[in-house]
Amino acid sequence: MLISVLAMPGRILAAGEGSRAVLVISDDTGGLLAERSRAVQELRLAGVRVELRGRCYSACTLYLGLETVCVSRRARLGFHGPSSYGRPLARPEFERWSRLMAGYYREPLRSWYLQAARYEIAGYLTLSGAELIRLGYAEC
């Protein structure tokens, strides 16, 4: 299975014939939301399994929107609100991009993001993989 990895930092592991490809994320600090959103859609259509096994910050957390995602207990995920290269957005844009990001998260992570993490612009609010597993995400 061949997929583009331009907007998907990580290692693609492909098992034998008929097996599903696996994208392993171990050190991803994010990127642009629109690009990562397209990458996640591409992975969804291809049926690629994504394993979050290390640092996954910012736009990387959109992988949590995949049905095929799993999280290692030792993973560290960093959440923050949308900005323009660290500068605050106008309120309508802030709401639009916050809701877009939140749409990738399952409850109760979605509510936590909208109530707390999206207001963090200068840094990150982090959750461990173990915390995400307690919130209902599959363990790798």
Q: How many folded domains does the chain comprise?
A: 1
Q: Does the residue 16 lie in any domain?
A: yes
Q: Which residues are bridge partners to 11 per DSSP?
A: 24
Within-domain flag for 78: yes
Return the ∠ at Cα 57 (arms to 23 and 32), rounded to 5°: 85
In a domain, 6, yes or no: no
Is residue 18 assigned to a domain?
yes
pLDDT in tens, the chain (140 residues): 334 343 445 555 444 445 578 999 999 999 988 899 999 999 999 999 999 999 999 999 999 999 999 999 999 999 999 998 888 999 999 999 999 999 999 999 999 999 999 999 989 999 999 999 999 999 99
